[in-house]
Structure 1
């Protein structure tokens, strides 16, 4: 039997669908939107092992393209480390890591704090608004733009393109046009940075060399595209999903306001409970293999449900209880193994500053609708709400 990972039932409550699958078997045949069949790993131990299994590959036997794109555009957005296997992945990760350093990320702290304050100022006094539209979405966009050196006047256009690229469902038909536009913009930005380098990450990636090696044009373009998209989507949903859970159980909001020392563990709990990335990117079985006692033939699409694995009762005591003080149980929200998210420290830093700002500025923040009235975005990659309407946007200082 094949389970559909699309449609109104899945969209209304993906946790419930994954729970039923996880309890029935560790691996399931599933149908994705568009009729594509895949094998989905649902339990923690199997998921963690699958994420490091060399028999599950990315660089060969690619599944059909998700979008109809010109060959040059497709090539210029897919040659990045997330789509590569060793040794290509090892080389790409080394070159990008040489520029995307902890020091560069920490140097962004003052600017992230200032950007957060600007957004909170704009929200103050609105009374009610969509928290995603006014805060959770624009903050990471601004931060990744700062990191890459995207000019201020271009950021609204990028925001529009990025939203289309990552929004399946009703707007899927618009995605190819957005990808082509974003690709053209990235190419032009690279050209500009070559002529006039700055102290931003893109300029550093253009200049980086190790033993005579450097990023090719396709690799550079693809890496910028990956960072522009993946570099903000995770944080958008980390912030929005976390606020949603706090406001759904209002005593948790008050608990975190009163005990700020819980913020680091609370952020990890938000990541576990509502993993911003729902499933790992596609892998292909290069040979027959067995996962959790389930035989998977060669040449099949295999996906790992991070959202399901992070709710596995065999790994986490009372997994469906949101515990802000939960420690000692690492999650898979940022993946595992060689493809572990390079931007995880940046996402955590942004979340820390964002939640601190919201808790300080809007102590009376509340949702204007019941949790049952909210809808999750379609698709199996991103796990995020379509909107989060809130009230109480009045500063204690007003």
Structure 2
């Protein structure tokens, strides 16, 4: 009798910039989410959480056997850490499962003022070898979020030489600077990237100009009008095809980037990666990659996709030059609020304009999908209408297959 191979199922960790995104990510399969508070994080423009929202999020997560982590990963200058001890005590008492930190000063405050609150090392700290992982474990940290510059071979070697939990990014935007430690935004827009104000100056379009006189300038690149003259804009990461090797190499948490992305993005990536991880861990020996998973990710992609540093140093092929070779093709248009089994009518909250005659796709947790034409629409007063043009308006339509509350709807652009 042969023994069935089993691997530890890694956590799928999704971004949650708002309470709505937190609930969406968990509903769509995420085992954990990471959020930001109103201070000490690196996403000052994200919908960061108040303490009351954190409490509601934690309560929701626990009801669904999920975890909530708080990012407090800024690099502190003088006075930046004021009040951090109270912040850590409060989130500990709320029930936050761990705090993600890069600055040793904040770690010390957390250890002293909020004992019992686990600390995870942020990717900003650039952990790239097992000696570093063991150092932070000896300092009392439970998990290390690896630098995005590590290779798959290095992760395998780390796992063989340490038992600290390993978290690795597997999907989302890539920073052009080493582990996100950039000052370009500081110089270009006076916004400190390492204190939460990054203006993504690397994503801007740059050109080279001849300026013989003040006020005069002539482009020396003379690019075609349709070309996009990016200089430092990396493509996004996607490791959907490499889930088996990540699991075999002992990665404990698979992290998805994107706290400022939409619920369309959060629901889709959580849905895809949770499905792929489940499929592999349930039957590793007979695992077969489903092309539908990758196709689904393209529906919310903002840039082209690659594997980052996992299989070698990225080349110019992983930078955005000229026209995009593949662009997103779907728009998020609504979310199901209710479904009447007897009539087959779904009640929908509109998120983008759509109307009769549109071919739309419904998708739900567990990777359910169906497409159909919108034949008729009614408003909340049951008056027949042709379009749903108003943001967040409630509409009804007959669906060809059963749907559930929180199912999403999109259409081709």
Q: TM-score under structure 1 normalisation? A: 0.24
| Greater fraction of residues in helix | 1
Larger Rg computed on CA atoms: 2
Higher relative contact order (CA 8 A, sep 6+): 1
| Greater fraction of residues in strand | 2
Q: TM-score under structure 2 normalisation? A: 0.24
